[in-house]
Structure 1
Amino acid sequence: MKQVLVIALLIMCQFLSAQDYKFGKVSKAELEEEFYPLDSTADAAYLYKYRRTYYNYRNSKGLEILNEFVYRTKIYTKEGFKYANINIPYVNPEEGESEKISDLKAYTYNIDENGKITKDKLDKDGIFDEKISKFRHLKKITMPNLKEGSVIEIQYTLKSPYLQYIDDLEFQYGIPVKKFSATIENPDWYIFAQKSKGFYAVEPVQSKYGSSFTIRSKQTIDTNYSRNNRAGGGKTSSTYYSNNKIDVTYNVNKYEAENIPALKDDEPFVSNINNYRGGIKFELVATRFPNQMPKNLSTSWDNVAKQIFKSENFGGELEKTNYFENDIAPLIANTKSNEEVIATIFEFVKRKVKWNGYLNKYTNKGVKKAYKDNEGNAAEINLMLTAMLRYAKLNAYPVLISSKGNGTPLFPTLRGFDYVISLVQFADNSYVLLDATDPYSLPNVLPTRALNWNGRVVTKDGSSSWVKLTTNKHALEENMVMVKLTDDLEVEGLVRTKLDNLNALSFRKNYNHIKEEDLRAKFEEDNNLDVEDFKIVNKENLAKPITRNVKFTSEDLIEEINGKLYIEPLLFLTRNTNPFKLEERKFPVDFTTAWKDVNKVSIQIPEGYKIEQTPEPMAIALPDNIGVFKFQVTSRGNKINTISILQFNKALIGAQYYTFLKDFYSKLVQKETEKIVLTKI
């Protein structure tokens, strides 16, 4: 096996040294390759990933950022076809300057039945433009004549007027990269911090070079001739163009790597896999323009918060109250406690203003317009909520957060926050977190998208501090099952399920819009049961847990072998597989919230049978009070009672605990799948 690996590596090195990555020069060897030599499980691979980012000046446009991209991708399997569906995000606001995609070319390469290379060009029918928000669009590309074994190539340029932003540089993906090359060139007017992310690093080769560009400007001069003035003549003017040469030094960072391994998104409980894939984030920390004083920007989290707070689209919106005063004053006039005030205003905002689906830390149309339109983005809704709570004499503050999809901000950055919620602090320093964008959220029960590590509380003077976003309230699922075994070995019974806290919110969000008969069919399919009666209670009553009552029968929960009956103590609630498969996991396990599952099962055995064997009890715990599993089976008369409790007290479990967690689940699965054995009397 070692010899095979060595040979494969030698072949790979020879192939790389001879490989031509010039656009359009796809080789027959690449097309004939049946699997990626260093990872035979890969469905596709980037044979070449190229990017160049640099600044350019044009008299018609001014200074702009150009991003040139070239990708060459090999498709090995049908599952790899998704990597031929290319999405290019770009900024295209309803008002203001837009990014532009130009020089787009793409081809699909195959080998025909005669062994010749064929080349299919992407045409306009394969290019679609999709609006994904008021600010961003997506250029969606579907490649032609795609087959297993195809190689696709695409090149394009993204031009951006947003000079203070350099897009993240990604080294690592869900598929391997054979050859990677990227160059980032920025003028020394813009000073960027470069922060590594993930577990794969590429060290840049740094250099500098000098350059210049000429700004051509039009000027008009008024000329007054004395004789014309004396003769009553008017003014005359002349026009000329001036050329101003500006010298600039560019900082260059070149990143090159070969055989970058994939980091696949196939493990459970991962909030955002891109947090752990290798790459570089760029954050503007200072500007040094000619003939101007240097300006330092987001050098600390406190500075970041202050910059955001100073915006009229953030801090300025908190000062506006006249648009809601006539509605809020009578609403809270008879409230008797702070908790009642909070609940009243919170529910009012949720009913009054619907979330439009857009995440933002800044308002778009403003709180007044959102209030009037009964619709707004996350900032408009939750800044409005904060202002109303302050109007009610409560210590309310906005909280800047990074949503789950935005990743975890690892260093001070304006782009690290994309969302805002609200906090009310009490005299004893306890607090409650509120997010009115979700109609099913409750105080201290935030929607999943908001539960991302810590948030930054911004006070009235713009100072800030961290606050934990996850709650100590466990997301609860409790099942109580009562069944009896009939003489013909069928199971008949009832199950009552209670869902509370985040589990209740998630259920309402995911299923309240689905008809009950469809939920019944899904429950039957998921649990392999025949449902006779199905009822969900408290779907709209947020003050109470969701309750689901089901009457069912099943012929598949008992196994008869040589006259003995074998039954899993938890019936259809048994956990049969360990979700953790990797030998080693470098990134944490993210459960989103602390959670607790309680299963209680009572089984009445039929006449003519006795209990021969039941599983032994078990109680195991993870280190540092992370979690616990308790399992016990008891019997009395013709009744067998089982209780199983699985509880995790932390939302995020560090990678250092992965081995313990995997072993913990292995023992749990082994215990729950042990059988109760009944024999005939």
Structure 2
Amino acid sequence: MRNKLMMLLCLVAVAKHGFTQEIKFGKVSKEEVLQKSHEKDSTANAAFLFNKRRTHYRYSNSEGFYLINEIHKRIKIYNKEALDKANFRIMLFSASGNREKIKSIKGYTFNYLDDKVTKVKLKKEHRFNEEITDNLTAVKIAFPEVKEGSIIDLKYTTTSPYISNIDPVQFQYDIPVNKLEVTIEAPEYFNFKKASKGYYSVPVTKSTRNGTIHLVQEYKDEFGLTKRGSSYDQDLKFNIDKFNASNIPALKDDEPFVANIANYRGGIKYELSYVKYPNGSPRFYATTWEDVSKRIYKYKSFGGELEKSGYYKKDLATVLSAATNDYEKAGAIFQLVKSKVKWNGNYRTTAEFGVKKAYKEGVGNVADINLMLTSMLRSAGLNANPVLVSSRSNGIPVFPTIDGFNYVISMIEFSDGKYVLLDATEPYSIPNLLPIRALNWNGRKVTRAGASSWVKLTSSTHSTRENNIKVKIEDESELSGYIMQNSTRFDALLDRKRFNHIQHEDLISKFEELYDIEIEEFKSRNEKNLGKKLSRMIKFSSDNLIEEVNSKLYINPLLFLTLKENPFKSEDRKFPIEFATPRKIKNNISIQIPEGYQVEFVPEQLAIGLPEKLGLFKFKATATEKGVQISSILQLNQAMISPVYYQATKEFYKQIVAKQMEKIVLSKK
């Protein structure tokens, strides 16, 4: 009886708490390999079956404390859309003789073949190193024989002499996580600041353990040589943070109007604030944004490059000869830099080649180009300063760290109180219109004197697109006409960037595909005249815009400009809606009906708005004897809308789609 009772209690405990069987590297179950879809998210293309990380410190007398990351990742691939999950990119940093290293890379690909689980070992030929910069190396790993249904199992260890560089703890990814185990273990001498990121949290379990490090005393002999003396063991405590979780939902990257979804995935960031050894003074690592800005400015590859000017003196004098005021000077210099140096696509706050070499060879990274621009502006007597930026891909910096910025632009402040932001890496940018990669909240202006302050990067001026369409219905199935299209600011920049490099015939094909029309004539103006509206005139015809049912003709009021589905599909959203810039889209459409037909129905007028005057939509269709006149305006007044207004925005777009999908109905007289 007693044995039966004990067995029953064990079964109850298992039912309550679940199995705690350890997941062993290199061993998977047949059930896991055969699984066709994720149990809790049938839309998932892949999932972490296991994601384990242990970050801790070791001590050596030659190196002091150093940082170790032990990683184990196991990923199930459900379909071909997730085959890229079998490729990994591990970044290693080095500087001044100190180098991060990777070792003990092991991996297997598991498949189900011939009624059994098979595994293929990851070999040396499946990985290689790529030098990204002088200081950054990418270790790339590509698992072999990966297909739908595969499981990949990866394990490796990294070591780093940079004790402050604890990678952020990531709870959430673009795929679900079945089981997460993360341990952060640090000596009691290390004090960290911690900040949550995103909107998914995992509670921390804190503990300590006792430990010992072996120390060897060193001294200088009479010749100045370092000698080793006595040694002793030092007792200390290690502070441990553990994050364990199961069934973490994915935050996918298919949400509309978001700059960098990684900013909003749950996690926690660690920043080393200070280190204080027994009987020693604290050494501070954490700092302020003011300190970060000063440090960057003092770099030879930043502030030192700003002071160089001899290489451009002659060209600068030439372009300034016709300038009559400061605004003309700024414009002339901006165009000079854009025409002389092309961006190589690299992001950094410091010069890669040096401004002189970049100017001579005509290529440079973002710092080469915009530090050069700032220097020229200063030489022309303008009050110009660099602005440090974290690009959208770099995320939103939580702590004041050097790595918080990876991009630099230029700012001019004029005597009338106005200012402009400039980025000469973008050929189609204009003053106060930055490329989307740089539109990430605020930047940090830095002056020669070391003062710094935040600068808003987004503009309050609306980007506009105006479409004027005039069409005639030729018969029951075809219409023809013209569209005159004008774009300004961000819309014009994106169109120039997207289409300017395309040959005329290919461009016609692009627009035929975009609008589902046949183009007879295509003209455009101001493709490279950035100070003016980008204009297009298209003569077209189409037999896909009219639907005939029971001798009646049905037409979408906005023709091929109709918004057919709501971009906002999620039930809820905990992060902002990012439109990059305020926008205004205006459509004016005139439809001439064929002889023998009359207008039976037009959609009713609609005027709706978002809360707090964040946006509006107006629609009006007017019937006449000869046809229908339609006008609509969609206006968004902020570059970013708070998630508080997500439901309102979703409903706003729902009504827009519903109205645009209503048909004009023509019937025979």
In the superposition, the TM-score normalised over structure 1's length comes to 0.90
8 Å contact from structure 2 (residues 287, 400) kept in 1:
yes
Distance 1:188 1:320, change over 3 A: farther
8 Å contact from structure 1 (residues 297, 303) kept in 2:
no
Distance 1:273 1:255, change over 3 A: same
Out of 255, 262, 276, which is 2:243 matched to? Answer: 255
For residues 291-302 of structure 1, what are the structure 2 equivalents within 5 Å?
293-302=281-290
Question: Residue 517 of structure 2 aligns with which residue?
Answer: 529
Instruction: Give the letter aligned to residue 371 of structure 1.
Output: Y
Out of 489, 493, 500, which is 1:512 matched to? Answer: 500
Question: Residue 27 of structure 1 aligns with which residue?
Answer: 29
Instruction: Provide the rounded CA distance (Å) in 1 between the counterparts of 2:643 and 2:454.
Output: 23
For residues 389-408 of structure 1, what are the structure 2 equivalents within 5 Å?
389-408=377-396
Question: Residue 272 of structure 2 aligns with which residue?
Answer: 284
Question: Residue 386 of structure 1 aligns with which residue?
Answer: 374
Counterpart check, 1:173 vs 2:161: no
Instruction: Give the letter aligned to residue 157 of structure 1.
Output: T
Instruction: Provide the rounded CA distance (Å) in 2 between the counterparts of 1:283 and 1:240.
Output: 35
Indicate the larger mover: 291-300 or 492-501.
Answer: 291-300
Instruction: Give the letter aligned to residue 357 of structure 1.
Output: G
Instruction: Give the letter aligned to residue 642 of structure 1.
Output: I
Instruction: Provide the rounded CA distance (Å) in 1 between the counterparts of 2:155 and 2:393.
Output: 27
Question: Residue 108 of structure 1 aligns with which residue?
Answer: 109
Question: Residue 427 of structure 2 aligns with which residue?
Answer: 439
Question: Residue 615 of structure 1 aligns with which residue?
Answer: 603
Alignment partner of 1:437: what SS? coil
8 Å contact from structure 2 (residues 216, 228) kept in 1:
no
8 Å contact from structure 1 (residues 633, 642) kept in 2:
yes
Counterpart check, 1:72 vs 2:71: no
Q: CA RMSD in A?
A: 2.7
For residues 222-237 of structure 1, what are the structure 2 equivalents within 5 Å?
none
Question: Residue 136 of structure 2 aligns with which residue?
Answer: 136
8 Å contact from structure 1 (residues 479, 495) kept in 2:
yes
For residues 354-373 of structure 1, what are the structure 2 equivalents within 5 Å?
354-373=342-361
Instruction: Provide the rounded CA distance (Å) in 1 between the counterparts of 2:428 and 2:13.
Output: 58
Instruction: Provide the rounded CA distance (Å) in 2 between the counterparts of 1:548 and 1:397.
Output: 37
8 Å contact from structure 2 (residues 476, 553) kept in 1:
no
Distance 1:533 1:460, change over 3 A: same
Distance 1:88 1:296, change over 3 A: closer
Post-superposition Cα deviations, 1:558-607, rounded to whole Å, max 9, x if no partner, equal 11111111111111111111111111111111111111111111111111
Instruction: Provide the rounded CA distance (Å) in 2 between the counterparts of 1:126 and 1:84.
Output: 11
Counterpart check, 1:186 vs 2:186: yes
Counterpart check, 1:49 vs 2:37: no
* Structure 1 position 199, deviation (Å): 0.9
For residues 150-229 of structure 1, what are the structure 2 equivalents within 5 Å?
150-188=150-188, 190-208=190-208, 209-214=210-215
Indicate the larger mover: 201-210 or 588-597.
Answer: 201-210
8 Å contact from structure 2 (residues 421, 431) kept in 1:
yes
* Structure 1 position 31, deviation (Å): 2.5
* Structure 1 position 131, deviation (Å): 4.0
* Structure 1 position 207, deviation (Å): 3.6
Post-superposition Cα deviations, 1:329-378, rounded to whole Å, max 9, x if no partner, equal 34324421111011011111112222221111122333333333332221
Question: Residue 479 of structure 2 aligns with which residue?
Answer: 491
Question: Residue 126 of structure 1 aligns with which residue?
Answer: 126
Question: Residue 583 of structure 1 aligns with which residue?
Answer: 571
Instruction: Provide the rounded CA distance (Å) in 2 between the counterparts of 1:323 and 1:375.
Output: 15
Instruction: Provide the rounded CA distance (Å) in 1 between the counterparts of 2:367 and 2:203.
Output: 38
Counterpart check, 1:418 vs 2:383: no
Instruction: Give the letter aligned to residue 664 of structure 2.
Output: I
8 Å contact from structure 2 (residues 218, 226) kept in 1:
no
* Structure 1 position 323, deviation (Å): 3.3
* Structure 1 position 203, deviation (Å): 2.8
Alignment partner of 1:303: what SS? helix
* Structure 1 position 422, deviation (Å): 1.0
Out of 439, 443, 447, which is 1:451 matched to? Answer: 439
Distance 1:582 1:238, change over 3 A: closer
Instruction: Provide the rounded CA distance (Å) in 2 between the counterparts of 1:594 and 1:18.
Output: 52
8 Å contact from structure 2 (residues 106, 154) kept in 1:
yes
* Structure 1 position 43, deviation (Å): 2.1
Distance 1:239 1:553, change over 3 A: closer
Instruction: Give the letter aligned to residue 64 of structure 1.
Output: Y
Instruction: Provide the rounded CA distance (Å) in 1 between the counterparts of 2:135 and 2:533.
Output: 38
Instruction: Provide the rounded CA distance (Å) in 1 between the counterparts of 2:608 and 2:540.
Output: 32
Alignment partner of 1:265: what SS? coil
* Structure 1 position 669, deviation (Å): 0.7
* Structure 1 position 306, deviation (Å): 2.6
| Identity, % of aligned positions | 48
Distance 1:618 1:276, change over 3 A: same
8 Å contact from structure 1 (residues 221, 239) kept in 2:
no
8 Å contact from structure 1 (residues 12, 37) kept in 2:
no
Question: Residue 9 of structure 2 aligns with which residue?
Answer: none
Question: Residue 233 of structure 1 aligns with which residue?
Answer: none
Out of 86, 90, 93, which is 1:91 matched to? Answer: 93
Distance 1:421 1:244, change over 3 A: farther
8 Å contact from structure 2 (residues 217, 228) kept in 1:
yes
* Structure 1 position 99, deviation (Å): 2.7
Post-superposition Cα deviations, 1:144-192, rounded to whole Å, max 9, x if no partner, equal 2334332221001122233331211111111111211112233455533
Alignment partner of 2:535: what SS? strand
Instruction: Give the letter aligned to residue 445 of structure 1.
Output: L
Question: Residue 329 of structure 1 aligns with which residue?
Answer: 317
* Structure 1 position 496, deviation (Å): 1.8
Instruction: Give the letter aligned to residue 81 of structure 2.
Output: E
Counterpart check, 1:561 vs 2:519: no
Instruction: Provide the rounded CA distance (Å) in 1 between the counterparts of 2:470 and 2:506.
Output: 24
Distance 1:16 1:221, change over 3 A: farther
* Structure 1 position 142, deviation (Å): 2.5
Instruction: Provide the rounded CA distance (Å) in 2 between the counterparts of 1:11 and 1:90.
Output: 45
* Structure 1 position 97, deviation (Å): 4.3
8 Å contact from structure 2 (residues 477, 544) kept in 1:
no
Instruction: Provide the rounded CA distance (Å) in 1 between the counterparts of 2:252 and 2:270.
Output: 24
Distance 1:550 1:66, change over 3 A: same
8 Å contact from structure 2 (residues 59, 213) kept in 1:
no
* Structure 1 position 287, deviation (Å): 3.9
Instruction: Provide the rounded CA distance (Å) in 2 between the counterparts of 1:16 and 1:215.
Output: 48
Indicate the larger mover: 623-632 or 64-73.
Answer: 64-73
Alignment partner of 1:324: what SS? helix
Instruction: Provide the rounded CA distance (Å) in 2 between the counterparts of 1:549 and 1:258.
Output: 57
Which segments of 5 or more consecutive residues in structure 2 lack a partner in the other structure?
1-11
Instruction: Provide the rounded CA distance (Å) in 1 between the counterparts of 2:189 and 2:416.
Output: 48
* Structure 1 position 305, deviation (Å): 2.1
Distance 1:32 1:493, change over 3 A: same
In the superposition, the TM-score normalised over structure 2's length comes to 0.92
8 Å contact from structure 1 (residues 49, 181) kept in 2:
yes
Post-superposition Cα deviations, 1:457-509, rounded to whole Å, max 9, x if no partner, equal 22332222211111122222211111111135311111122221011111222
8 Å contact from structure 1 (residues 298, 304) kept in 2:
no
Distance 1:243 1:72, change over 3 A: farther
Distance 1:419 1:287, change over 3 A: farther
